[in-house]
Amino acid sequence: MSHVPFDLGFKSVTWNYPESGHGKGPADGVGAAIKTAADRLVVHGTDITNADELLDAMESQTTIKMSKIDPDRMDFFKQRLAKQTISSVKT
């Protein structure tokens, strides 16, 4: 997708994500919107090599609010969740 279509004379290329094989929940939609916006920036020459660059780049591209969570904070939440008992939902 990076150069072959252009070498063949195409002026633009899009990548479509069909429903099958992809999540359909709200979080999946948000993730897809962020990924699409980031893909668009990369295609136009923006390098996104880490989480900080992604956060900076997305500020001007979307109204989705994102923040970086410190790894120590993640450990805190993992420990907290490990102590909880969660029942399964019966269908």
CA distance 50 to 35: 13
Give CA torsion, residues 86, 70, 47, 38, to 10 deg. Answer: 30
pLDDT greater than 90 at residue 22: no
Long-range contacts of residues 32-37, Cβ cutoff 8 Å, at least 24 apart: 33/62, 33/64, 34/58, 34/62, 34/64, 34/66, 37/61, 37/62
- Domain definitions of the chain by residue range: 4-82
pLDDT in tens, 28-62: 788 888 999 999 999 999 999 999 999 999 998 88
pLDDT greater than 90 at residue 10: no
pLDDT greater than 80 at residue 23: no
Q: Strands, E, within 1-91: which ranges?
A: none
Q: Strands, E, within 34-76: which ranges?
A: none
pLDDT in tens, 66-82: 888 888 888 887 887 77
